[in-house]
Amino acid sequence: MKPKKRPPDGEIRQSQVLSTYGPGSMVDLPEASVLIGGLNYWRFPPERNEILEERLTAKIYDRLKDHYPDLTTIKLYTPPDNSQDQLGVKTGIKAFLFPTWFVAQTDDTWESKNGKIYRTRPLIPHGQIHRGGYVDQNKKKVPVVPVRFVQACPNGHISDINWGAFVQHKPSCTNRKGSLCLDEGGASNDFADIFVRCQQCGERRPLSDATLPNSKALGKCEGKRPWLGMYDQEECIDPEKNKPYYSRLLVRSASNAYFAQSLSVISLPDSNQKLRDAVNQVYDSVLQIADSLTTLKLLRQTPLAASALQGLSDEAIWEEVQRRRNGVKTADKSIKQVEIETLLSQPNEIGEDIPESNFYARNRAIDKLSPMLSDRIDRIVLVHRLREVTAQIGFTRFEPNLADIDGELQLNVQTAALGRELNWFPAIENKGEGVFISFSPDAIHTWKELDAVKQRGLELQRGFNTWIERKGLDPNQLLFPGMPYIMLHSLSHLLITAVSLECGYSASAIRERIYAGSSGYGILLYTGSSGSEGTLGGLVQVGKRIESLLESALELGKLCSNDPVCAHHKPADAHEERFLHGAACHGCLLIAETSCERNNEFLDRALVINTVESAGAAFFPEHG
């Protein structure tokens, strides 16, 4: 009888490895919690699936060259799947048990001196776990679950809490390593009602001590990086104060436990793409050893190279080989600047309408737009084919490091490393379709100069400044995105909601890219799926009548189900703590975070359409 095949320890989608469950993130499995291993613990088959996107690798190089001086070449690979190769070697991503402290699932209670009853459960280190359970003093095996609390710092370091040191035992207590209990009172899970108690001396301390501002209850961060290895650690320094960070309490399942730091680009047509694709096919196997044009001529006579390089000149091939050998070039334009310049550059169509094309788009006629739209929209582009490549380059804890309005990551934010030696990064590619709407710069500039817009901008700026102060961030490093961006971002969310009702895609499947810079103003709505060669065509069809859906979007923004409360919201209001929102809530503008490029921040429908509270700042006042 053949033994049963052992099921995998856990499975996640490749796209999730670049977002929620990347290196250094915590994942709950049925019987334990694990930490996803770094890139040095990823096992690939002999042939890795490389993703070629030079514009993205150039941007990654720009972002990391100062932190990693030895970085010269960068490659992008899709994450490995959970399988076995022909030799039986298992591929996949290694994970480490974390945290290594557990809570025994007992039903005991404990009464404090003031008579309050607490549910009490033993805190158990992993060394005392036997065959998945804890043997109590009655020799009874008790099931255990991972403790919910760990400690971390803004640099991404993470480790178990030193529970014995946290309790602060009495001087006479000899119980320094074990016999601790977690006492929980009430059903609210308030940290003030959760205590760690020593069973021997009776000293107890609330977890709320570790949540106080500037708390030193958990001690200085030791710089541990268990996703890179059990004993891996580095020096941990607060770059602003040049002093060590103090560890902060972190709930494993909290939304601020892990923020993937990613960059994405839309693949754009390149006149030399055919040459680069041909060289890419045989560079590693044949051409990389070429040291002169003469050697190249000999190498391209091999059957493999002759087939791939047919029709290309020796000189062009040699120039491309030299370009690749010289390493990654620096990108001089921002990610979004290149994209919008491409979308606005061609008079009729961009790219080729062939199956293997990564990008193909056509302009549609706009001569029949209504006067309200024709004064503001100067181009509509139907994007029949597009490819988006996304790569993860690091992660943060407690606060995300979002890209700015040009698609560039902030350089001042310290991010945790994905691996020990960084010369490649995990990436995925999505293929799909979209529709691009370009707005007249003259109309935007005229709108910006309105007194009502300037006044609304001051209110949003005050909220932004309050947010920076509350977060303790450097005001010189974070820039207010500007009124055109917030207006277009708000209109994009309204349009996604309206379009999803017509195009066949759900709202969460549609994504946005907002362009609001010196090169132009526009909104790109697009969708795609990993490995998909075709599209449903719904967004392109919607783009052929996008004006009617713009009308529907404006109608949606006029009145919110939470009005007048939503419309009256002030960004700097300390009671609501929605400092990056104007008139925006779940009833009108907030959408799935997978669709939004700013995590549902910097939104205000009063800049798009007149609301019940505000008039005069709308870009489309006629519709109000």
Residue-level pLDDT at 512: 94
Question: What band does 202 get if pLDDT is binned at 50, 70 and 90?
Answer: confident
Compare 446 and 212 and report the one with higher pLDDT.
446
Question: Under DSSP, is residue 344 helix (H, G, I), strand (E, B) or coil?
Answer: helix
> At a CB cut-off of 8 Å and minimum separation 6, what does 84 contact?
90, 91
Please indicate, yes or no, whether residues 146 and 247 belong to a single structural domain of this protein. yes
Residue-level pLDDT at 5: 45
How many Å is the maximal CA-CA distance in the chain?
90
Residue-level pLDDT at 8: 47
Question: What band does 98 get if pLDDT is binned at 50, 70 and 90?
Answer: very high
Total structural domains within the chain: 2
Helix axes 483-500, 546-558, angle to 10 degrees: 110
Q: What is the pLDDT of residues 125-170, one digit of tens each?
A: 888 887 777 777 777 888 888 999 999 998 899 999 998 888 877 7
Two structure tokens written together for 529: 């799926």
In a domain, 220, yes or no: yes
Q: What is the pLDDT of residues 225-240, one digit of tens each?
A: 999 988 898 988 877 7
In a domain, 108, yes or no: yes
Please indicate, yes or no, whether residues 165 and 294 belong to a single structural domain of this protein. no
Please indicate, yes or no, whether residues 112 and 247 belong to a single structural domain of this protein. yes
Distances (CA, A) of 170 to 23, 138, 186, 199: 40, 27, 27, 12
Residue-level pLDDT at 152: 93
Mean pLDDT of 85-108: 83
Can you tell me the distance from the alpha carbon of 495 to that of 544, in angstroms, rounded to the nearest whole number? 14
Residue-level pLDDT at 31: 76
In a domain, 400, yes or no: no
Q: What is the pTM of this model?
A: 0.83
Residue-level pLDDT at 331: 56
378: enclosing H helix or E strand = strand 377-396
Please indicate, yes or no, whether residues 159 and 189 belong to a single structural domain of this protein. yes
Mean pLDDT of 21-28: 91
Identify the domain containing residue 144 by its residue range.
101-251
Please indicate, yes or no, whether residues 182 and 320 belong to a single structural domain of this protein. no
Residue-level pLDDT at 317: 85
Question: What band does 494 get if pLDDT is binned at 50, 70 and 90?
Answer: very high
In a domain, 348, yes or no: no
268-282 core/surface letters (b: 16 or more CB in 10 A; e: else): beeeebebbebbebb
Does residue 2 register a pLDDT over 70?
Answer: no
Does residue 503 register a pLDDT over 90?
Answer: no
Least confident of 244-253, 287-296, 433-442, 486-495: 287-296
Please indicate, yes or no, whether residues 147 and 214 belong to a single structural domain of this protein. yes
Please indicate, yes or no, whether residues 187 and 218 belong to a single structural domain of this protein. yes
Mean pLDDT of 83-106: 82
Q: What is the pLDDT of residues 528-553, one digit of tens each?
A: 765 443 356 688 888 899 999 999 99
Can you tell me the distance from the alpha carbon of 472 to that of 388, in angstroms, rounded to the nearest whole number? 34
Residue-level pLDDT at 273: 63
Residue-level pLDDT at 530: 58
Does residue 83 register a pLDDT over 60?
Answer: yes
Whose tokens are 């541990």? That residue is 224
Q: Last residue of some domain: 325, 346, 365?
A: 325
Please indicate, yes or no, whether residues 196 and 310 belong to a single structural domain of this protein. no
Percent of the chain with pLDDT over 90: 33
Q: Last residue of some domain: 283, 303, 325?
A: 325
Mean pLDDT of 34-59: 89
Mean pLDDT of 441-458: 95
Does residue 457 register a pLDDT over 90?
Answer: yes
In a domain, 396, yes or no: no
Please indicate, yes or no, whether residues 226 and 105 belong to a single structural domain of this protein. yes
Mean pLDDT of 104-109: 85
Least confident of 268-277, 333-342, 391-400, 594-603: 268-277
In a domain, 280, yes or no: yes
Can you tell me the distance from the alpha carbon of 452 to that of 439, in angstroms, rounded to the nearest whole number? 20
Residue-level pLDDT at 425: 93
| CB-CB contact of 611 with 583 (8 Å) | yes
CB neighbourhood size of 180 (10 A) = 22
In a domain, 177, yes or no: yes
Question: What band does 327 get if pLDDT is binned at 50, 70 and 90?
Answer: low
Does residue 617 register a pLDDT over 60?
Answer: yes
Question: What band does 224 get if pLDDT is binned at 50, 70 and 90?
Answer: very high
Q: Last residue of some domain: 264, 297, 325?
A: 325
Average pLDDT, the chain: 85
Question: What band does 3 get if pLDDT is binned at 50, 70 and 90?
Answer: very low
Please indicate, yes or no, whether residues 240 and 281 belong to a single structural domain of this protein. no
Can you tell me the distance from the alpha carbon of 107 to that of 119, in angstroms, rounded to the nearest whole number? 7
In a domain, 245, yes or no: yes
Please indicate, yes or no, whether residues 113 and 157 belong to a single structural domain of this protein. yes
- CA atoms 69, 72, 75, 76: torsion sign: positive
Least confident of 475-489, 505-519, 531-545, 554-568: 531-545
Please indicate, yes or no, whether residues 285 and 177 belong to a single structural domain of this protein. no
Question: What band does 571 get if pLDDT is binned at 50, 70 and 90?
Answer: very high
